[in-house]
Copies of this chain bind each other. A is one copy, B any other.
Amino acid sequence: MDEQALRALLESYRSGAVDLDQVVQRMRNLPFEDLGFAKVDHHRAIRCGFPEVVYCEGKTVEQVVAIIEAKVAGGGNVLATRASESAAGAVADRFPQADCCSLARTVTIRQRDPEPCPGHVAIVAAGTSDLPVAEEARVTAEIMDQTTRTFYDVGVAGIHRLLAHSGELQAANVLVVVAGMEGALASVVGGLVDRPVIAVPTSVGYGASFGGLAALLAMLNSCASGVTAVNIDNGFAAGYSAALINRLAQTGT
């Protein structure tokens, strides 16, 4: 049943063709039928500045371009993640206004003017190998109209480098902390600030890091309060949640 059918049903009720009980009976099953909710969601997304996201891994270059074309036609901002070099190139050829970040493996196309909010999101990364994940978080937050500040290469093995920035870290509304190996950075940052910290374990490390499991477990077991975690290497998830949180600070509701 679509909207037209609903309208027809209501009109036949008003005309007396069906009675009230019959309409109520039909209503009971409405949640299970297509009333065009997707469109409603679509409108809300464009209104709010949520990006249209394309996860490129496992898709051909042609598929990526075609999907992005459809998203662009929708009028909102577009974010493609895990884009291979060739996919990014093809998108850039098709959309000259596309912004490719090879480190983050992202492509973004901005179609709506940013509405920046006063607070900012801090992106903190332990080592240079963690940067692709950190950058994916940064790009995601920015296409969602957030201001970001980055603090890279501040791993705990040289704690002074991190502490030198503690004032700035405390100034952020929400912090994304990206670290592989033993993932200790999340706990240390969590102990320095009184704002929500989103920890992103990375698969950086070898041997018993087991593809990021060591860092993930560490972050889930953080002794600092206020730390939550996302999946291994999932910079997008962290940037997205951070944007949702910082937007709260902006809107006050």
Whether the pair B195, A203 counts as a contact (CB closer than 8 A) is no
Whether the pair B217, A217 counts as a contact (CB closer than 8 A) is yes
Binding stretch for chain B, among A40-48, A68-76, A88-96: A40-48
Q: How far is the CA of A139 from the CA of B178 in the complex (A)?
A: 30
Instruction: Determine how close the nearest CB of chain B comes to the CB of A29; give it in whole angstroms.
Output: 7
Which residues of A in the span 7-28 have a Cβ within 8 Å of any Cβ on B?
7, 10-11, 13-14, 20, 23-24, 27-28
The verdict on A27 contacting B35 (CB below 8 Å), with A208-B232, A240-B225 known, is: yes
Q: How far is the CA of A126 from the CA of B218 in the complex (A)?
A: 14
Whether the pair B220, A229 counts as a contact (CB closer than 8 A) is yes
Instruction: Determine how close the nearest CB of chain B comes to the CB of A133; give it in whole angstroms.
Output: 10
Contact residues on A (Cβ < 8 Å of other chain), bracket: 35 or more
Q: Which of A24, A34, A223 is the most central at the interface, judged by chain B CB atoms within 10 Å of its CB?
A: A223
The verdict on A157 contacting B187 (CB below 8 Å), with A32-B164, A218-B214, A221-B215 known, is: yes
Which listed residue, B3, B23, B126, touches A223 by the CB 8 Å rule?
Answer: B126
Whether the pair B229, A181 counts as a contact (CB closer than 8 A) is no
What is the predominant secondary structure among interface residues of chain A facing chain B? helix
Q: How far is the CA of A195 from the CA of B160 in the complex (A)?
A: 18
Whether the pair B182, A221 counts as a contact (CB closer than 8 A) is yes
Whether the pair A24, B40 counts as a contact (CB closer than 8 A) is no
Which residues of A in the span 219-253 have a Cβ within 8 Å of any Cβ on B?
219-234, 236-238, 240-241, 244-246, 248-253
The verdict on A223 contacting B37 (CB below 8 Å), with A217-B182, A228-B229, A233-B206 known, is: no
Can you offer 20 A-B residue contacts whose CB atoms are under 8 A?
Answer: A10-B10, A10-B24, A31-B32, A31-B163, A44-B194, A53-B225, A126-B223, A155-B223, A159-B191, A163-B163, A173-B248, A173-B253, A182-B183, A182-B220, A196-B245, A206-B231, A208-B213, A214-B214, A220-B232, A225-B237
